């Protein structure tokens, strides 16, 4: 009778541990699958880009250089100057008086420097992950990740409690196993085998 109770308790603990591990693995599989779907769609659809025009950004040209504001936006490239105006005089400045590097730094191309310019330019913005399908896929993935993060942010002790319960469950399982082994060893002591 006592061995049946021990065995049922051991089976219950094993079932709880199994469910917890399978839940964690399933959640991880969902996140990995959503990420893979997003990457697959990127590869299928190819890169999606848009050309963005910026009009009259205030800057300057000198040998040190002025860094265009677009460089703070992720996944951008290929700046091209389209117009320059001297804000002090209101006169147009020839595009040959300035150059722009591939990383968006405007410098003077002649000995003349301009301390107060309106700079107009275009740049290319890679919006591959902003396509409609990817927005849905990445939103689902981010929601799952946010849910997990919020769970542990809002209840930081839950993770610790679960770890302690798991540790106690493992210790109880070991004690029950040792007790069962000890009980089965004493039951066989008085048995004599005859040939």
Q: Does 61 share its domain with 93? A: yes
**Does residue 108 fall inside a structural domain?**
yes
Question: What is the pTM for the complete model shown?
Answer: 0.48
**Does residue 195 fall inside a structural domain?**
no
pLDDT tens-place string over residues 94-151: 999 999 999 999 999 999 999 999 999 999 988 776 666 666 666 776 777 777 677 6
Count of the separate structural domains present in the chain: 2
Q: Does 101 share its domain with 67? A: yes
State residue 55 phi and psi, 5-degree precision: -115, 130
Mean pLDDT over 5-34 rounds to 76
pLDDT tens-place string over residues 48-88: 788 999 999 999 999 889 999 999 888 889 999 999 999 99
Q: Does 104 share its domain with 160? A: no
Nearest-10 Cα torsion for 120, 124, 129, 131: 80
The first and second tokens of residue 44, run together, are: 């299928």
* Other CB atoms within 10 Å distance of the CB of residue 193: 4
Q: Is the pLDDT of residue 89 over 80?
A: yes
118 lies in which domain range? 49-126
Q: Is the pLDDT of residue 192 over 60?
A: no
pLDDT at 156: 61
């Amino acid at each position: 009778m006592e061995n049946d109770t021990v065995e049922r308790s051991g089976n219950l603990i094993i079932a709880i541990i199994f469910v917890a591990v399978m839940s964690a693995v399933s959640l991880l599989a969902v996140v990995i699958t959503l990420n893979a779907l997003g990457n697959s769609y990127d590869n299928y659809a190819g890169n999606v880009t848009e050309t963005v025009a910026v009009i009259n950004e205030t800057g300057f040209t000198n040998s040190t250089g002025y860094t265009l504001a677009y460089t703070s936006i992720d996944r951008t490239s290929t700046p091209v100057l389209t117009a320059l105006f001297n804000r002090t005089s209101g006169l147009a400045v020839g595009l040959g008086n300035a150059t722009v590097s591939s990383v968006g730094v405007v410098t003077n191309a002649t000995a003349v420097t301009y301390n107060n310019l309106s700079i107009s330019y275009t740049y290319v913005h890679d919006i591959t992950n902003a396509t409609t399908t990817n927005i849905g896929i990445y939103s689902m993935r981010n929601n799952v990740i946010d849910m997990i993060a919020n769970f542990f942010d809002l209840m930081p002790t839950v993770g610790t409690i679960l770890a302690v319960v798991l540790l106690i469950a493992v210790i109880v399982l070991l004690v029950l196993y040792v007790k069962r082994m000890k009980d089965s060893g004493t039951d066989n002591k008085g048995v004599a085998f005859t040939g």
